[in-house]
Amino acid sequence: MLARAVTLVESRRSDHRAVASEVVAELAPTVGAAVRVGITGVPGVGKSTFIDQFGINLTAAGHRVAVLAVDPTSQRTGGSILGDKTRMERLAVDPNAFIRPSPAGATLGGVTRTTREAMILCEAAGFDVILVETVGVGQSETVVAEMVDFFLVLMLSGAGDDLQGIKKGVLELADAVAVNKADGDNIHRANSAAADYRHALHLMSPATPSWTPPVLTCSSLHNESLDELWQQIQLHRAKLDATGELTTKRQGQQVRWMWAMIADRLTEEFRSAPAVGDQLRDIESQVRDANLPATIAADRLLEAFLSSD
């Protein structure tokens, strides 16, 4: 039933969307107690292996874990592999876990258009820990950080120049940084990388005066320090709950969710408007061939949309 409900909210059909809105509106007031954790990291950092072991630890401790895993969508074919269940072998068969891979589509931040709705459905179904795995696409991870309580950034050893540019943008959003694969011959490099990240975070302004993001080393393969990470997540929640910041954060997320839905709906209405569709292909062709400036093209399409009935 939960899987079918998530499929419903992911649908772009107008009749499905109407039913989905009713379902989400009915359930939204009943949720809010679950711990919502966003997990990101560059490709190859071991996100799926980490979540598999982390989730197993949580279910063993009595939690019910839902994983919303966002798969990259091909820009050429529009397809996704959706292979997270094969990468999370143990968690996929755990009766106290639910894994839902979804295509990222064209959504900024590597998170599906309906992830917020899916979180509500999972929480209403009794899952008390929601993990959102993202594709790790850089600074646009702001989208993910703004819909969870705790944002965990997984890193690899060999920090140095990696702190520049795209990773620095992600670090600024982190509630904790974990240098993964700290095992075997890599332990020394992982500890060195952790020291570099601590120094980098020290130079950044914390998102809240109540919390200084910790930097840990961990090994998903050997299940080392994952329990410590969960303790940090719980401590973060307790501190923000005590100051009222968690409530304020979630209230702000609701407002941003509203605007995101408005933007998404307006884009759909714009593209489906007959007045726009009649000339969209021709205008796109003119812009592509440099026969029409993009600014003028945008003005023409917007004028056609706004003047239509």
- The domain of 56 spans 30-243
Per-residue DSSP letter, 102:
E
258 is a domain residue? no
Q: What is the pLDDT of residues 250-262, one digit of tens each?
A: 999 999 888 888 8
What percent of the chain is modeled with pLDDT above 70? 85
Predicted confidence (pLDDT) at residue 164 exceeds the cutoff of 60: no
Residue 77 DSSP one-character state: T
For residue 199, being part of any structural domain is answered with: yes
- Tell me the pLDDT tens digit for each residue of 61-98: 999 999 998 765 443 434 434 445 567 889 999 999 99
pLDDT at 205 over 90: no
- pTM to 2 decimal places: 0.86
More confident position, 137 or 179? 179
- Considering the domain architecture, whether residues 209 and 279 belong to the same structural domain is answered as no
For residue range 30-42, list pLDDT tens digits in order. Answer: 999 999 999 988 7
* Closest C-alpha to 219, from 246, 185, 248, 262: 185
Last residue of a domain, one of 243, 261, 286: 243
- CA neighbor of 91 nearest in space, from 118, 123, 117, 129: 129
Residues 229 and 104 in one domain: yes
Q: Is the pLDDT reported for residue 124 higher than 50?
A: yes
Q: Is residue 203 included in any domain, yes or no?
A: yes
Domain check: are 171 and 279 in the same one?
no
Looking at the structure, tell me whether residues 288 and 224 fall in a common domain. Answer: no
Q: Are residues 42 and 142 in the same domain?
A: yes
> Which residue type is seen at 11?
S
Same domain, 124 and 178: yes
Q: Are residues 36 and 98 in the same domain?
A: yes
CATH of the domain at 78: 3.40.50.300
Q: Specify the pLDDT at position 77.
A: 36
Number of domains in the chain: 2
Other Cβ atoms less than 10 A from the Cβ of 72: the count is: 16
The pLDDT of residue 211 = 94
